[in-house]
Structure formats: C-alpha cells, structure tokens
Amino acid sequence: MPELPEVEVTRLSFASRIAGARILSVRMGKALRWPLGCAPALLVGRIVLGVRRRGKYLLIDLDQGLLMLHLGMSGSLSFVADLPASGKHDHFAMLTTQGTLTLNDPRRFGAVVYADAQDTGSASTLLGRLGVEPLTDDFDVDRFHAGLKRRKAAIKQVLLAGEVVVGVGNIYASEALFQAGIRPTVPAERLSRPRVARLHAAIRDILGRALTSGGSTLRNFSSASGEKGHFQFETMVYARQGEPCRVCARPIKLLRQGQRSTFYCPQCQKP
DNA sequence: AAAAGCCCCTGGATGC
DNA sequence: TGCATCCAGGGGCTTT
C-alpha cells in the first residue's frame, strides 16, 4: 500500500502530536515480518523525541534507541488521544502520555523493529542499501543518471528496487514513467541524459502531488489521524488497463514485471 | 555483482 | 451460498 507519499503523510499526521510523549505500555499482536528485537517492557518509560522517515520506513527516535516501522503492503497507523479498542489486525500498540499509536496491518508484511542507539546491526541492515531520497537536493540528475548507468534491468524494476532512489512504489513508478514518456521495459542503462532528466522531474512532481493529495487510498490507507488519500483519482495509467489514455486515447496496456503489474501507454511512452 | 524468482499473509473480487 | 482462483501501495532472501 504505502509508498513514499503515504508514509510521509502518515508521519506528518502524528509526528508533532507524539513528540515528547512518554511510553506507558506496549502491546504486541500476531507476529509481523520480524520480531520487535527487545522485550516490550524495555520501552516503557522512554521518551519519544520525534519521527523521521527514510524511504518507506518511519523512524521513531527515543531518548534511548529508536523504533523502525514499515507499513508493508497493507499497514496503516493511527494515533488517537483516547484509548482505542483493539481491532482484529492491530499487531502493535503503544500507549503514551499523549495518545496511543497503533499499527493495523491485515497482511502483516509490515514491521516494528527496535534498534539500540549503538546498534549498527539491525538499523544498517534495514536501511543500509537504500538509495537517495527523491525529495531532497541529494537527488540530482547527475547522480540519478550515474546510478541508472550501472543497471541493465528494466527501468520500472530499478525504480521499485529502491537502491538508486527510494520511495517509488508500484503506483508512482508507473505514473512517473508515463509522465516522462518512457516505456517501463527500457533498460535503465540505456536512458539518455535528457530522458533521465525528464524522469527525475516526473518523480519529484508525482510524489509531490501525491503528497499534497494525502497519498493514494486503494483499499484502506489512511493517515494516523484518519484522513484518506485521493491521488488514486488522478492516476494517468495505474489500474487503467484497457481504458483510453487521457492524452492520446489509445488503450492503456498492462504487463507483468517481476510479479508486479505495470501500466503504460504504448503511444505516449517510447521504448 | 546484478538480475530474476520465491515467499511471507489476509481479504476482496470474480468465476463456476 | 459455497468454493477455487487470482490479485493487491513491499521487500528480504535464495538461486541463477
């Protein structure tokens, strides 16, 4: 579910409200992707300093150590002041002096992992291979071009892998490639610099607009304050196979790349 | 080293 | 109404 815009929307919806809170209790439900990495009781009494984002991970900084959260495919957070009843798929809940943070995740591909401050292990394992943040100045055309030059795989899959640039998932990869006029199957190394520049601009534009729209809500995504996204109504190609391209009216095509669906316009996107 | 496949899990939509 | 099949915003791990 959540790509960079959804994760960032989530962060913005509770970061300031939880900052400064003291953890009162932690409740675990069914197993997520990985074990928490410490006894839940160890977190009690710690203070939440703030919430950062790295790629699709949320990093909750504590006065001692940090929690790394991932929403997987179906996860969403809520942060409410009153004590919420536990729902069927609430697999992590953290009661604090300022509210309760709950991870609801039906498919349980998500994760909550504790890392000690000096623990270079789990943090670097999870975050170590991540590419550049697309909405920062570090993401420039030169660096992007250099990164793509080293990849022979299809550009769509290079984007999804997140080792060159992070945060671009299945929806926004298709959308950005459409906006840049690039066929998803083009080997990354073969993209000319002007095309890379167009893709660079398209990624920033799409992610920025999705952020402004509160992300995309396909099934049940909502921010930690319960707001649904509405970017799904603005997609040019995603989930529109067989429907007319909004630019040229040719039917949008669907193909599978690495067990994921890719959507593109055969007319507007050149090989 | 990089690329391609496999798998984790639940639920909703679709087809018979 | 029931059951079988396929598909879904991700990504780590194993195999080529």
Is the per-residue pLDDT at A132 higher than 70? yes
**Cβ distance A224 to A13 under 8 Å?**
yes
**Cβ distance A21 to A94 under 8 Å?**
no
Please tell me which residue lies nearest to nucleotide B9, judged from CA to C1'.
A107
* Third-level CATH fold of A4-127: N-terminal domain of MutM-like DNA repair proteins (3.20.190)
**Cβ distance A4 to A168 under 8 Å?**
yes
**3 state DSSP class of A29:** coil
pLDDT confidence of residue A247: 98
Scanning residues 78 through 107 of protein chain A, those with a beta carbon under 7 Å from any atom of strand B turn out to be: 88-89, 106-107
Task: Give the domain ranges of chain A.
Answer: 4-127, 141-264
The spacing between the Cα labelled CA in A22 and the C1' in C10, in angstroms, equals 31
- Write down the mean pLDDT value for chain A: 95
Q: Which residue has the higher pLDDT, A120 or A115?
A: A115
The spacing between the Cα labelled CA in A105 and the C1' in B8, in angstroms, equals 13
Nucleotide nearest to A74 (CA to C1'): C9
Average pLDDT over residues A210-221: 91
- Determine if strand B comes within 7 Å of the CB of A230: no
Average pLDDT over residues A47-68: 97
Confidence band, pLDDT 50/70/90 cuts, at residue A125 = confident
Cα A149 from Cα A146, distance rounded (Å):
5
Is the per-residue pLDDT at A164 higher than 80? yes
pLDDT confidence of residue A122: 65
Calculate the CA dihedral of residues A243, A240, A178, A131 and round it to 10 degrees: -170
C-alpha count within 13 angstroms, C-beta hemisphere, residue A32: 28
- Determine if strand C comes within 7 Å of the CB of A33: yes
Burial code (b: 16+ CB inside 10 Å, e: under 16) for A34-47 equals eebbbeeebbeebe
DSSP string of A142-201, one letter each residue: HHHHHHHHT--SBHHHHHHHTSSB-S--HHHHHHHHHHHTB-TTSBGGG--HHHHHHHHH
- Determine if strand C comes within 7 Å of the CB of A216: yes
pLDDT confidence of residue A119: 62
Query: Does this chain's domain A4-127 share its CATH topology with A141-264?
Result: no
Residue A107's contacts (CB-CB under 8 Å, 6 or more residues apart) are: A72, A73, A74, A75
Cα A223 from Cα A71, distance rounded (Å):
12
Nearest to A2 by CA among A169, A165, A238: A169
The spacing between the Cα labelled CA in A33 and the C1' in C12, in angstroms, equals 10
The spacing between the Cα labelled CA in A76 and the C1' in C9, in angstroms, equals 11
Please tell me which residue lies nearest to nucleotide C12, judged from CA to C1'.
A126
- Determine if strand C comes within 7 Å of the CB of A218: yes
pLDDT confidence of residue A128: 86
Average pLDDT over residues A102-117: 95
pTM higher than the cut 0.85: yes
Please tell me which residue lies nearest to nucleotide B3, judged from CA to C1'.
A153
Tell me the catalytic residues of A: 2-3, 56, 260
Is the per-residue pLDDT at A82 higher than 90? no
The spacing between the Cα labelled CA in A33 and the C1' in C13, in angstroms, equals 13
Residue A185's contacts (CB-CB under 8 Å, 6 or more residues apart) are: A154, A155, A156, A255, A257, A271
Nucleotides of B under 7 A from a protein CB: 2-12
The CATH number of domain A141-264, selected from 3.20.20.80, 2.40.30.60, 1.10.8.50, 3.40.50.2000: 1.10.8.50
